[in-house]
Amino acid sequence: MNRDNQTPLTTSLSVETETIPGSEVLIRSLMAEGVDTIFGYPGGAIMPVFDALYDHKDKIRHILVRHEQGALHAAQGYARVSEKVGVALVTSGPGATNAITGITDAMMDSTPLVVIAGQVNSTLLGSDAFQEADVIGVTQPITKWAYQVRRAEDIAWAVSRAFYIASSGRPGPVVLDIAKDAQVLKCDYAYQKTTFLRSYHPLPEVEEDKIKMAADLINSAKKPFALIGQGVILGNAEEELRAFLEKGGIPFGSTILGLSAIPSDHPLNQGMLGMHGNVAPNIKTNECDVLIAIGMRFDDRVTGDLKTYAKQAKVIHFDIDLAEMDKNVKTTVKVLGDAKQTLPMVTRLIENKSYPEWLEEFKPYEQKEYDCIIKNELYPENGGEIKMGEVVNKVTEATQNKAICVTDVGQHQMMATRYFKYNQSRSMVTSGGLGTMGFGLPAGIGAKYGAPGRTVCIFVGDGGLQMTIQEFGTIMEYGIDVKIILLNNNYLGMVRQWQELFFDERYSETHLKNPDFIKIADAYNIRGRKVTQRAELDAAIQEMLQHKGAYLLEVVVETKGMVYPMVPAGGNITNIILGNGYTL
């Protein structure tokens, strides 16, 4: 069958066919793709699918969220920790438009999703029918593929193609907009799994000469430095990366989304890159002679001012997406391909090396950051207000660094990414590229379903929590065992920080008068505890972790705390504000 001049080659063709409604075709197609969990919210235009789902509850678990944005973020959390495609199911009109933020977030962070939206009958399309919206027009710029299904016969084909596109190459979201009559009318069902599309090439061919050029450049380096992004995790190339770094003796820093690819305590690990990253890797980015970027896109929060970024270095860029090559940073060698394939090819050609003197150059900056910032953040004097960093540090230590860290967006996010530690991959779930407040709570729900055997710690702020606080209802209904750590400063903290630094302390609309969060949690049958004194903190964390079930730990932290270090937006990455009266 041909659609848009793209013909899939297929495998796993069902031998027998049945004549069944399109809604049943959809559910069986999802099962054929191995889907076991869907996050969704019903409505009129998707009701036939929910009716079909009723007969398959033993095979597909549906999690009824309280808002469609929650469904998308939950599907993201599920996908990020499970290595599977996340699936969300919503209705037409406002149901689909409520999902837009989550779809955009998934596109920015390369999260594989299949989003299925109901649509009005095909005969009503374009008539401004009740709850009609141009879902394809809205979502085409924020998806890998968006397709409207108007016939029952096309549903299985579209689902097969959707999962292939969402999960292959550089992952991302796909939207299927399915007309209601396509869900109701019957057709013959036979599922064919897509393995190839004629005009879609998710795995580019590796150029052997570029492999040799990269290896030669690395072998000639005196001060190599690697930047690790989420692409390594998405490509399941953690072991290949580790072998490459260790053979080459190459120190590295990580983007926020790449943080858990290599354990935090690895001797070559220099910490986090970027605006609120560690001092040493930012400084040394502008002092290395060969900069090796692996599965990252040179985001502006990492690079700062491109005019001053790594101008002294020869740049090698490993990535699966040609569009990222030379987009922001001009590269010397482009290694296009899947990191799981390209990294071993380069590793075979590089020399066994170590750079003890180069590594020593990082240490004074590490010590400076510890003395000026980290020591006070993690181990403050007993008399002062509780610090965000010390809470994060105590939680990660109490979990032996084995938990999944999920965050919302804001100051607490930066503190969590700075101080949470990891000993296995797929342990950091946060909104990176879009910076979506409200992401944390539903994403943590999805992460728990994606990795049910692991502890999920969700760090939220008082602002972001209230954007999706209705998902307490989802936690209550399904008894989801997530640990929610609310770092409450009664402010939109990150905006307030910028107002203090760059807007003459004019705190316009950033102070929050908050509700009693513990009472709200109690109304949802979620156990909770509020901590205002440092002496209570250790016991409260242990109580939270030992409790079987959801738990809200609200910690009242310093009202006007700051996240340091900080590189001002658009500034030179070596122009670092240390704060607290310290300068670099």
The pLDDT of residue 221: 98
The pLDDT of residue 3: 41
- pLDDT tens-place string over residues 333-350: 999 999 999 999 999 999
Question: In whole angstroms, what is the distance from residue 437 CA to residue 460 CA?
Answer: 9
pLDDT band at 381 (very low <50, low <70, confident <90, very high): confident
Q: Are 46 and 54 in contact (CB under 8 A)?
A: no
The pLDDT of residue 4: 42
DSSP 308-349: GSSTTSEEEEEES-GGGTTTSS--SEEEES-HHHHHHHHHTT
Domains of the chain listed by start with CATH number: 10-189 (3.40.50.970), 208-360 (3.40.50.1220), 386-556 (3.40.50.970)
The pLDDT of residue 16: 59
Question: In whole angstroms, what is the distance from residue 439 CA to residue 101 CA?
Answer: 10
Question: In whole angstroms, what is the distance from residue 123 CA to residue 181 CA?
Answer: 9
The pLDDT of residue 13: 45
Q: What are the E-state strand segments in 353-482?
A: 404-407, 428-429, 456-461
- pLDDT tens-place string over residues 209-223: 999 999 999 999 999
The pLDDT of residue 477: 98
Q: What is the mean pLDDT of the chain?
A: 96
Q: CA distances (Å), 377 to each of 30, 389, 419, 506, 559, in order? A: 47, 5, 10, 25, 14
Rg of the Cα atoms in the chain: 24
The pLDDT of residue 8: 40
The residue whose two tokens read 């109490």 is 398
Task: Give, as one character, the DSSP assignment of residue 152.
Answer: G
Backbone angles phi, psi at 436, to 5 degrees: -90, 110
Q: Which of 64, 58, 69 is nearest to 27 (CA)?
A: 58
% pLDDT > 70, the chain: 97
The pLDDT of residue 580: 78
Check pLDDT > 90 for residue 17.
Answer: no
Question: In whole angstroms, what is the distance from residue 162 CA to residue 149 CA?
Answer: 12
Question: In whole angstroms, what is the distance from residue 286 CA to residue 45 CA?
Answer: 54
- pLDDT tens-place string over residues 294-335: 999 999 999 999 999 999 999 999 999 999 999 999 999 999
What does the pLDDT average to over 91-119? 98
- pLDDT tens-place string over residues 427-447: 999 999 999 999 999 999 999
Check pLDDT > 50 for residue 7.
Answer: no
Check pLDDT > 90 for residue 581.
Answer: no
**Catalytic positions, please?**
68, 130-131, 180, 494
What does the pLDDT average to over 479-507? 97
The residue whose two tokens read 């989003």 is 115
The pLDDT of residue 6: 43
What does the pLDDT average to over 201-206? 95
Q: Encode 408-432 in three state secondary structure.
A: CCCHHHHHHHHHCCCCCCCCEECCC
What does the pLDDT average to over 246-262? 98
At 224, is the secondary structure helix, strand, or coil? strand
Q: Are 342 and 334 in contact (CB under 8 A)?
A: no
Q: Lowest mean pLDDT of 2-16, 104-118, 569-583, name the range.
A: 2-16
Task: Please count the residues of the chain.
Answer: 584
Check pLDDT > 90 for residue 551.
Answer: yes
Check pLDDT > 70 for residue 246.
Answer: yes
- pLDDT tens-place string over residues 138-197: 999 999 999 999 999 999 999 999 999 999 999 999 999 999 999 999 999 999 999 999
Check pLDDT > 60 for residue 9.
Answer: no
The pLDDT of residue 407: 98
